[in-house]
Amino acid sequence: MIVTLAGAACVPEFEERACWTLDCPAPGAPNAAGFDDASIDGGVADLGVADLGPALVDPCLDESSNGASWVVRNVSLAPAPRDRASFTYSPLNRELILIGGVIFPGVVQNDVWSWTGTRWRQRPTSNFEAHADHATAQDRFGRLLTFGGRESYDALPHDETWIWTGTDMDRLFVQPSPPARVFAKMVYDSARERTVLFGGFDAAMNALDDTWEWDGETWNEAGPATSPPGLASPAMAYDSARRRVVLYGGTADPGIITNELWTYDGTTWTELVSPSKPSPRGAAQLFYDPLRAVLVMYGGTFAANSNYRETWELDGELWRNISVPPELDNCSNSATAFDAAGGYALSFSGWDGGGHSPRTWQYCPR
């Protein structure tokens, strides 16, 4: 079952509740491009370069949603369901870029897809290697910087640096470089024009607590006086209104899942204490909504194959739990990001505890 997302922007006004919208077909039903499930081979219909059809009507504006916080949608096509990919807004393309990930049964991908605002499109690459468990973020030139990850499901981490140039993936050979790792997080600090990398697991599955910065040409270890404990798969985003990196949760040694909230201002990390905050989780997704100056966190895991379907918003230092319906996927390691050109956030696929969710959601605060 393959899905895609409508491209119309969501209404930016904010009320007490928020709306996630979902594309999901009825089992065996033809999708918007006229294919049924049986005609789809390898996760994508045989269309050559997969230009997957026009946008559907924005369900955020559909009266049938009845104010629900998550609304079911009709369906078109999308990339094969996966987790452990990266999904990042590209200023050069003015599109969201999906890179790699793992599809069933544990096959690491080397594909690149873009969400154009109206459709999914597979992007040709010339020599890109399979990637999963990598970190991706913008750099000061508008390129997408990808670091670390692994090339197959059980491979050791690597220390490769790649960039999405807007048309292809190119490898950069730079020294010094952060050590090899998987499940790190990386965000772009627009105020300082630095891409910030934190944490991850090394080859021995030790959680790392180092902070590195990319200035567009070289890597430099930041060495802040105070840091979070070693963490893998924390939720991390850049809060541009408050000019700081925000980190939540993650997995510390020896496999302890945390619920600590940390911020980084380019000099040091500071732990924040909130009177009410989400429970411990790893592999959740955190993005910044510049229209409302809030951070939004979705999903995550609290035990093996046990995930949350929660959505939380962070306004400075105060968390607020957003009501969600029972049909919402409980996913970890989904591909979730804010589309600056469209003014809304998308979340594609992820691991629901028993397999890869085939569904795509659009977050649209009301």
Specify the pLDDT at position 67. 58
Specify the pLDDT at position 58. 66
Specify the pLDDT at position 27. 35
What does the alpha-carbon distance between residue 50 and residue 3 come to, in Å, rounded to a whole number?
A: 13
Single pTM value for the model: 0.85
What is the sign of the dihedral through the CA atoms of 199, 200, 201 and 207? positive
CB 257 within 8 A of CB 207: no
Specify the pLDDT at position 340. 95
Specify the pLDDT at position 335. 94
Specify the pLDDT at position 327. 75
Q: ω into residue 176 within 30 of 0, thus cis?
A: yes
235: nearest Cα among 290, 304, 313: 313
What does the alpha-carbon distance between residue 74 and residue 58 come to, in Å, rounded to a whole number?
A: 10
Specify the pLDDT at position 275. 82
Specify the pLDDT at position 345. 86
Specify the pLDDT at position 13. 30
What is the helix, strand, coil percentage profile of the chain, to 5? 0, 40, 55
What is the token pair recorded at 259?
Answer: 């619920």
Domains of the chain: 18-365 (2.120.10.80)
Tell me the average confidence (pLDDT) per consecutive run of 10 residues in the chain, 366 residues long: 32 36 40 29 31 52 60 68 97 97 97 86 94 98 98 96 97 98 98 98 97 98 97 98 98 92 98 92 97 94 89 92 81 94 88 88 75
Specify the pLDDT at position 66. 58
